[in-house]
Amino acid sequence: MGSANHKKVEDYLTAQLRGDQVEHDTFTADTPEGKFTVHNIIAKFPGSKEGIIVIASHYDTNYFLRKTSYVGANDGASSSGLLLEIANQLRGKIHDGYSVWLVWDDAEEAMKPDGSGGLPQEMPFDQDSLYGITHVAQTWQADGTLKRIKAFLLADMIGDADLNIDRDLNSTPWLEDVVGEAAKRLGYQSHFFARTNQVGDDHIPFMKRGVPCADLIDFMYGYNNVFWHTPQDTVDKLSPKSLEIVGSVMLETVHILDKMDPLPPK
């Protein structure tokens, strides 16, 4: 945040969504590194059925790596690019099911080096991270939108060429089961749920507010997670096939949810 390249990413996302119904949620966050402008981008695609499915990705990179060559090819860019392609799939038609809202949230990463991801830290991860998505959750709770959200699907670190999506114990079990069923229907089950994990991620503010959530994340990026939050998070570690797999599974998950009536409670 605060860099010229961060602004370029904001502008790029907005340009790619030109002509869509886009809303901008901009506010000032008070962080351990000072005050920063945070900019969430929300694209809304209408459906024929009452209710909303949210698909989210953070697009920011780590502030504490700002003086390195860090680009965040997997952690931030892979899922954000995937959401742009999901927008391409939804554009120009009324979705036969729930409305789908895509959220590119800002300021997900911690400002301090050990402020997120379950590492030893001086403060809880959600007090020095998740600034953008927490603001979205608070806003939608205040204006009543939260009650209309049927499911919250999160993509994070999904471009890894060695794709293995974790089963997240901080997500809603029945919704994780739907993701698993979607993967099975498409023949991609070998890439899902070989590991379990307990991930502190963008979905947490919605989980805390009672929204069913599923976090699609591969939190083992290189042997022993060696590439995570390092300048080695580069595009050569990624695979277009991994993006295709996760995107297809997310859209199939939406299709399954569209046909479930009623949806289970949290």
**Domains identified in the chain and CATH numbers:** 4-259 (3.40.630.10)
Cα separation values, 77 from 61, 161, 170, 189, Å: 9, 14, 23, 24
- Helix/strand/coil for 215: strand
Burial 76-95 (b: 16+ CB within 10 A, else e): bbbbbbbbbebbeebeeeeb
Return d(Cα 227, Cα 197) in angstroms, integer: 18
Return d(Cα 51, Cα 83) in angstroms, integer: 20
Which pLDDT value is given to residue 114? 60
**DSSP state for residue 141 in the 8-state scheme:** H
Which pLDDT value is given to residue 113? 82
φ/ψ of residue 105, rounded to 5: -95, 150
pLDDT tens for the 266 residues of the chain, in order: 999 999 999 999 999 999 999 999 999 999 999 999 999 999 999 999 999 999 999 999 999 999 999 999 999 999 999 999 999 999 999 999 999 999 999 999 999 886 444 433 444 556 789 999 999 999 999 999 999 999 999 999 999 999 999 999 999 999 999 999 999 999 999 999 999 999 999 999 999 999 999 999 999 999 999 999 999 999 999 999 999 999 999 999 999 999 998 999 77
- Helix/strand/coil for 194: strand
**DSSP state for residue 200 in the 8-state scheme:** -
Structure tokens, 51: 């209710």
Q: Please give the span between the terminal C-alpha atoms of the chain, in angstroms, as a whole number.
A: 34
With CA atoms as reference, report the closest residue to 40 among 64, 13, 63.
Answer: 13
Residues 96 and 33 sit within 8 Å (Cβ to Cβ): no
Which pLDDT value is given to residue 115? 47
Question: What is the DSSP track for 91-136?
Answer: TTS-EEEEEEEEEEES--S-SSTTSSTT---SS-GGGSS-HHHHHH
- Helix/strand/coil for 66: coil
With CA atoms as reference, report the closest residue to 218 among 38, 90, 75, 121.
Answer: 75
Which pLDDT value is given to residue 229? 95
Burial 220-255 (b: 16+ CB within 10 A, else e): bbeeeeebbbbeebeeebbeeebbebbbbbbbbbbe
